[in-house]
Amino acid sequence: MKLLVTGGAGYIGSHVVRQLGEAGHDLVVYDNLSTGHRWAVQHGEFVLGDLADRHQLELVFARHKFDGVLHFAANIVVPESVENPLKYYSNNTRNTLNLLSVMDQFGVDKLVFSSTAAVYGMPDVVSLTEDTPLAPINPYGASKLMSERMIMDLSNASSLRHVILRYFNVAGANPDAKLGQATPEATHLIKVACECVNGVRPGMKIFGTDYETRDGTCIRDYIHVEDLAKAHVIALDYLREGGASEVLNCGYGRGFTVREVIDAVKRLSGVDFPVEESGRRAGDPAALTAENSRIKKVLGWIPDFDDLDVIVGTALKWEAEWQRRQRS
C-alpha cells in the first residue's frame, strides 16, 4: 500500500515505519522533527512538514495517491498538557482536523490513529474495555478524545474506515538497538529510569506513594513498542481487506507499579541510582490496565514481548547506544 505516516520520525512512528517498510509498503513520512529524528526514518520518503500547514499537506496528497494514513504526530506529555492545554488542542486536535479534511478532499479512506488510555480518565474499574466510559482528566486525553470523535463522525458520514488504537504505556526498543526512544527531555517512567542508569540524570522521583494500589504507587500496563508496531501493520491489512471501523485497546492486560518498574531497571542494569519519594503528579490516575480481548479477536494480534524484563532490557540497551551515539 502507498501510505502517509505522520509523526513517523518519532519513537513509536519510527518503529512502525520500519515494520511497514520491511512488509513492503511504500511510505511517505511527514514530520516536523519537533521531537523526532531524521535518522529514525529508515524507510520511504521523508517530508519535513507540519500538520498545521494545510497547504503543504495538500501538495503532498496531490503528489502521491495514498491508500491510507497512519497518524502518529502529536504531543504526548500529560503534565505539559496540564500546563499548556492550547498546545495540545492545536497540535493534537486541530491538526487532526486538518489531516482529516485533506484526506476527505482527496478521497483517502483508511486511517490508523494513535489514541491513548488517557481518554478513560480516572476509571473506577481496574481493567478497561473499549466500552469503559470516556472521561479524560487531563488536556492530553481530552485532545485525543476529541480527535477520536472527529474521526468517528467522518467515518459515519463518508467512505472513511478507521482503526483507533488506544495505547497504554509504550516502552522498550527494537532489540537490535537501532531504534528507540530519543525524545529530548523525556518524562516517561522507563525512559527516565534508563537515563539514571546512564548517568544522564543524577536520580529520579516517584510521583505519589499514597495511591490505593499494592505498594502505593501508580499501576500502568507497559507494552513493548514492537508489539504495538505490529498491531498497526495488522490493522492496515484489516482495513485493506474491508474491515469495519474499530476502536481497540493496545496493552497486555496486566500492570506494574512505579516501584516494580524502577526495581526491574535497577536489577537488570546492576546500577542503584537515587530515588526520591515525592507528591502526586497532576493528572495521574491510580491504575490503568487494558482489557485486550477485542484487539486479539478483531486483528488476531498476538504479542511477542509481554515481559517486563524484556521491555526494560531493550530500553536499557537502547539508552546505552543512544548515549554512546550522542557522545561520538
Q: Which residues bind ligand UDP (CB under 6 A)?
A: 78, 169, 187-189, 192, 204-207, 218, 220, 258, 281, 284
Q: State which amino acid sits at residue 255.
A: G
Residues near 161 by beta carbon (within 8 Å), at least 6 away in sequence: 109, 110, 111, 155, 239, 243, 244, 245
- Output the smallest distance, CB 28 to ligand UDP, in A: 29
Cβ distance to ligand UDP smaller for residue 193 or 231: 193
Q: By C-alpha distance, which of 206, 207, 205, 196 is closest to 273?
A: 196
Q: How far apart are CA 51 and CA 66, in angstroms?
A: 16
Buried b (16+ CB within 10 A) or exposed e, 175-191: eebebbbbbeebebbbb
Choose among 97, 89, 69, 237: nearest CA to 153: 97
For the chain, report the end-to-end CA distance as a whole number of angstroms.
Answer: 38
Residue whose CB is less far from ligand UDP, 67 or 195: 195
Q: Whole-number minimum distance, CB 101 to ligand UDP, in Å?
A: 29
Task: Decide the pairing of beta strands 256-257 and 219-220.
Answer: antiparallel
- Residue closer to ligand UDP, measured from CB, 45 or 277: 277
Give 26's strand partners: 2
Residue 211 C-beta: closest distance to ligand UDP, Å:
8
Q: Which is nearer to ligand UDP, 282 or 302 (CB)?
A: 282
Nearer to ligand UDP, 21 or 85 (CB): 85
Query: Which one, 227 or 284, has the nearer CB to ligand UDP?
Result: 284
Give the whole-angstrom CA distance, residue 92 versus residue 50. Answer: 12
- Please report, for residues 108, 154, 233, the alpha-carbon distance to residue 69 in angstroms, rounded to integers and kept in the order given: 8, 14, 12
DSSP 207: E
- We find the least distance from the C-beta atom of residue 3 to ligand UDP, in angstroms, to be 26
Residue nearest to ligand UDP (CB): 218
Beta-carbon contacts of residue 283 (< 8 Å; ≥ 6 apart) = 78, 79, 81, 82, 137, 138, 140
Residue showing cell 522498550: 172
Write out the three cell numbers for 17. 515505519
* Integer Cα distance of 150 and 114 in angstroms: 13
Residue closer to ligand UDP, measured from CB, 159 or 187: 187
Nearest distance in Å: CB 159, ligand UDP: 34
Catalytic residue among 11, 30, 120, 140: 140
We find the least distance from the C-beta atom of residue 140 to ligand UDP, in angstroms, to be 8
140 is catalytic: yes
Q: How far is the CB of 186 from ligand UDP (least distance, A)?
A: 9
What residues act catalytically?
140
